[in-house]
A and B are shown apart, each in its own frame.
Chain A
C-alpha cells in the first residue's frame, strides 16, 4: 500500500471528484460555451427574420408593442418588452415558460409580428447550462453543487501539479506513450485555461449561491409553517400606456446615458431597465414611470462596493457586455476548458483500463463517458438539423426540437453503454459516435445552404460562423475517428 501523503490524497480527490462531476460538467461547459452566442444561434434558427442593421424602433412600433404587451397581460400572461440591441435588431414581447423566455418577434420599423418559425433557439443551451432543464430549485442547485465540485477538483489538481506548474507551462509531448500524451494535453489545457475555469466556476456558483447556501438558519428550511392565507388578488385595471419614445429618452438620461434593455409593465406603472450590454457591471438599474400620465416616479441605481463587485461577477459570467472579438475569446476558452475536463475523464479511464477494464462498473463508466463526450455533440448537431428539417409551420415545434436533442442524446448514451459493455473493442463506441459527429457537422453547411439562401445572404456572418464551426467540429471528429481506427488496426 502506498504511503498516504497530501499529494496521493489530492490525486485521488482530483480523479474521482473530477470524473464524477466531470460527466455533468462537460455538458454544462459545452452548453455554456454555446450560450455565449445564444442570440446568434437563435437568429440562425429563425432564418425568416430579415436583417435590420441598427434599426431603431419607431414610435408606431413601440406603441403597437406596448398595446400587445397589455393585451397579453389582460389574458393573464406576464409579458414584457425587450428593446433592440446591437446583437438583436428586433423588438420582442417575451414571457417565461418555466424554462426560458419565449414570445413574439416584432419588426422595429412597423411593429408588425414577424412570422418566424417557433424555435427553442440558443436560449435552450442557456437554460440547459444553468439548470440542466431540471428547474429552478433542483436543477440550479445541482449545477451549483457540480460547480463547487469543479472548484474542489481544480484546487486538488493545483496541489498535485504545483511543483511543475510554471516550468511545464507549455509542455506537450505527443510522440511519447499514449497515456503521457493525454496527461500532457490535460495539463496543458487545464493550466493555461485555469484563470478562465476558476473565474467561470466561481462566478457561476455565486450567481445562484442562495440555492446551496441559504442565508437563513438550516433548521428553518425544513420547518413547514402553514402558508399565510393568500388575500384574493384585487383585479387592478391595466392603465393605458403613454407613448414610449419620450419615456425611453428620459430613462436614458436618468441612467447616465446607458442604453435601455427592456421594459416591465405593471398595472399602474412601468419600469425601464438599463441594458445588460451597457457595461461590465450587470445591474438592474431602472427608472419607474407612473401610468397613464408617464410621470417619473423614481430612479433605482444600485451602488456600493459589495453591490458593484457582485454586479461585476455577474457581468463576467454572463458576458453580455463583450464585443464580438472578446465573445470569441470566451468561446475558445470555454471549448478548451471543456476539453480539459473531457481529457481528464479519458485519462481516468485509461489509467484504470488494465486493472479494472473487465468490471461492469468500468464499462458503464466508459459508456457514460462516450455519451457525454461524443454523444452530446451529436445531440447538439441533431438539434440544429432538427431546426431545419422539421416543418416551419408545425405547432409546438420548439418542444420537438428539444425532444430531438434529448432523443438522439439518449440513443447515443444507450449506444455507448451497449458498445462498451457488449463488445470486445470498447473503442468502437467512441469511433462510431465520432463518425456521426463528423457526418452531422460537415453536413450542416450544406443543409443550411439548401434551406434558405436569402438568410445566408442577409446574416452571412452568423451563418458562416455557425456552419463553419459545425464543419470544423465535423472535420476534427473525422480526424480523431480515423486516428483511432489506425491505432486499432
Chain B
C-alpha cells in the first residue's frame, strides 16, 4: 500500500501527455457500445427465431412449422430488449458482450446441428 502511495506521489505531472492521450468522451464510447450491443443482440435474436423454429418443427410432427416460427418470434421479441440491455449495461470487462456472444455462438452451432 505504502509503495503504491509513494509511487503515485513521485509521479511527475504530465499534463501535455495526458491531454494527448485523453480517452474518448463517454458519449462517443456509449454510442459505439450501443451500436455493438444492438447489432449483436439482433443477430442472436435472429438466430433464436430460426433455431426455435427448427427445433419445434423437428420434435413435432412436421406440421407445426408456422407455429414453431411464431413461438420463435414470441421468445426472440421478448429477449431482444433484454439482450441489448445486458450487452450495454454489463460493460465491465465486456461481460455482457461476451455472454451474449456465447449465447449467439451456441445458437449458431445449434443451427448447424439442427436439420
Interface positions of A (Cβ within 8 A of B): 1, 4, 6, 9-10, 12-13, 17, 148, 151-152, 154-156, 159, 202, 205-206, 209-210, 213-218, 304, 306-307, 309-310, 313
A148/B80 in contact, CB under 8 A:
yes
* Binary contact readout B31-67 vs A (1 if CB under 8 angstroms, 0 otherwise): 0001000000010011001100100100000001001
Residues 1-41 of B contacting A (Cβ, < 8 Å): 26-27, 30, 34
Contacts A10-B89, A148-B81, A159-B85 given; does A215 touch B50 at CB 8 Å: yes
Most chain B CB atoms below 10 A, which of A12, A13, A17, A152? A152
Q: What number of B residues sit within 8 Å (CB to CB) of A?
A: 33
Contacts A213-B49, A215-B49, A215-B69 given; does A155 touch B77 at CB 8 Å: no
B106 at the interface (CB under 8 A from A): no
A12/B30 in contact, CB under 8 A:
yes
B90/A217 in contact, CB under 8 A:
no
What residues on B are CB-neighbors of A202 within 8 Å? 77-78
Q: Complex: how many Å from CA A213 to CA B73?
A: 8
One of B34, B70, B90 near A306 (C-beta < 8 A): B70
**Could you name 26 residue pairs across A and B whose Cβ atoms are closer than 8 Å?**
A4-B91, A9-B30, A9-B89, A10-B85, A13-B88, A151-B80, A152-B84, A152-B85, A154-B81, A155-B82, A156-B85, A156-B89, A159-B85, A202-B78, A206-B74, A209-B73, A209-B77, A210-B73, A213-B77, A215-B49, A215-B53, A217-B50, A218-B46, A306-B67, A306-B70, A310-B70
B100 at the interface (CB under 8 A from A): no
Q: Complex: how many Å from CA A12 to CA B56?
A: 39
Question: Nearest Cβ in chain B — how far from A244, in angstroms?
Answer: 30
Q: Complex: how many Å from CA A206 to CA B45?
A: 13
B67/A9 in contact, CB under 8 A:
no
One of A152, A214, A304, A313 near B74 (C-beta < 8 A): A313
B107 at the interface (CB under 8 A from A): no
B76 at the interface (CB under 8 A from A): yes
Q: Complex: how many Å from CA A342 to CA B50?
A: 37
What residues on B are CB-neighbors of A10 within 8 Å? 85, 89
Question: Nearest Cβ in chain B — how far from A375, in angstroms?
Answer: 28
B91/A9 in contact, CB under 8 A:
yes
What residues on B are CB-neighbors of A152 within 8 Å? 81, 84-85
A310/B81 in contact, CB under 8 A:
no
Q: Complex: how many Å from CA A304 to CA B64?
A: 9
B89/A307 in contact, CB under 8 A:
no
B72 at the interface (CB under 8 A from A): yes
B71 at the interface (CB under 8 A from A): yes
B97 at the interface (CB under 8 A from A): no
A-B CB pair tally, cutoff 8 Å:
81
Beyond A4-B26, A215-B73, 20 extra complex contacts between A and B, CB < 8 Å: A1-B26, A12-B27, A13-B89, A148-B80, A148-B81, A152-B84, A156-B85, A159-B85, A202-B77, A202-B78, A210-B73, A213-B42, A213-B46, A214-B49, A215-B49, A215-B53, A304-B64, A306-B64, A306-B67, A306-B74
Q: Complex: how many Å from CA A155 to CA B84?
A: 10
B46/A214 in contact, CB under 8 A:
yes
Q: Complex: how many Å from CA A143 to CA B72?
A: 20
Q: Complex: how many Å from CA A12 to CA B88?
A: 11
A155/B85 in contact, CB under 8 A:
yes
B89/A6 in contact, CB under 8 A:
yes
Question: Nearest Cβ in chain B — how far from A382, in angstroms?
Answer: 35
Question: Nearest Cβ in chain B — how far from A440, in angstroms?
Answer: 37
Q: Complex: how many Å from CA A12 to CA B31?
A: 10
What residues on A are CB-neighbors of B64 within 8 Å? 304, 306
A155/B81 in contact, CB under 8 A:
yes
Residues 83-99 of B contacting A (Cβ, < 8 Å): 84-85, 88-92
Q: Complex: how many Å from CA A313 to CA B78?
A: 13
Q: Complex: how many Å from CA A218 to CA B104?
A: 15
B26/A307 in contact, CB under 8 A:
no
One of A155, A213, A304 near B76 (C-beta < 8 A): A213
Q: Complex: how many Å from CA A210 to CA B71?
A: 12
Q: Complex: how many Å from CA A304 to CA B56?
A: 13
Q: Complex: how many Å from CA A313 to CA B92?
A: 37
Question: Nearest Cβ in chain B — how far from A416, in angstroms?
Answer: 25
Most chain B CB atoms below 10 A, which of A1, A9, A154, A215? A215
Question: Nearest Cβ in chain B — how far from A308, in angstroms?
Answer: 10
Question: Nearest Cβ in chain A — how far from B83, in angstroms?
Answer: 10
Q: Considering the complex, give the chain A residue whose CB is closest to the CB of B90.
A: A6
What residues on A are CB-neighbors of B68 within 8 Å? 306
Q: Complex: how many Å from CA A437 to CA B39?
A: 41
Q: Complex: how many Å from CA A154 to CA B78?
A: 13
What residues on A are CB-neighbors of B91 within 8 Å? 4, 9
Q: Complex: how many Å from CA A159 to CA B30?
A: 17
Q: Complex: how many Å from CA A10 to CA B85?
A: 8
One of B34, B50, B71, B76 near A13 (C-beta < 8 A): B34
A205/B77 in contact, CB under 8 A:
yes
What residues on B are CB-neighbors of A304 within 8 Å? 64, 67
A306/B46 in contact, CB under 8 A:
no
Q: Considering the complex, give the chain A residue whose CB is closest to the CB of B50.
A: A215
Q: Complex: how many Å from CA A12 to CA B85?
A: 12
